Structure 1
Amino acid sequence: MTREPRLEVEYCTQCRWLLRAAWTAQELLTTFTTELGEVALIPGTGGVFDVRLDGETLWSRKAQNGFPEIPTLKQLVRDRIAPDRDLGHSDRR
């Protein structure tokens, strides 16, 4: 059974990015405790670090030339699942 919305963090096992992926998932689960239905860590290869929400890529390390800042990622998730939500310090630049 899949719960929605489903957030996926695909990470490169060759690069040993599991801890980064788990930390990213933890940050998003802590912020969106009731809005996210499921968070999945997906092992991959080839330098992948992609964050997807219901199949839509929110961040791709290769496409954006780096890892996402957590406040930016929280804003991207919020804009899709809780657009009226105030993220506090994550909304301030």
Structure 2
Amino acid sequence: MKPQIEIEYCPGCRWLLRAAWTAQELLTTFESELGAVTLRPAEISGTFSVTVNAHLLWDRKIEGRFPEMKELKQRVRDQIAPERDLGHSDRAER
């Protein structure tokens, strides 16, 4: 069974669009590796988290910020397809 990602977001903070954009980016990058990306409104205010098969990859409250897409894609890749090259997303910043 292919990995499933869940993005939990705070509807009161109006983070649905950010969650949807994140889902689109992950589906575009990992479309053959993923089984699903689910958006779930949170019951706790200020929540924005990303899990793969219930394994927490990102939590805005723990990290103190939203993820940069590059780093989130790297964390997803490391969980679901560690051998995968992400092209420009793997290159070091100058």
Aligned AA (1:16): R
User: Equivalents in 2 of 1:37, 1:58: separation in Å?
Assistant: 17
* 1:40, distance to aligned residue in structure 2 (A): 0.1
Q: How many pairs does the alignment contain?
A: 91
* 1:25, distance to aligned residue in structure 2 (A): 0.3
Tell me if structure 2 keeps the 8 A contact 1:4–1:54. Answer: no
Alignment match, 1:47: 46
Aligned AA (1:20): R
Consecutive unaligned residues of structure 2, counting only runs of 5 or more, are: none
User: Equivalents in 2 of 1:65, 1:92: separation in Å?
Assistant: 24
SS in 2 for 1:46: coil
User: Equivalents in 1 of 2:2, 2:9: separation in Å?
Assistant: 21
TM-score (norm 2): 0.93
User: Equivalents in 2 of 1:92, 1:22: separation in Å?
Assistant: 25
SS in 1 for 2:65: coil
User: Equivalents in 1 of 2:34, 2:10: separation in Å?
Assistant: 23
Alignment match, 2:6: 8
TM-score (norm 1): 0.94
Alignment match, 1:73: 72
Alignment match, 2:84: 85
* 1:4, distance to aligned residue in structure 2 (A): 3.1
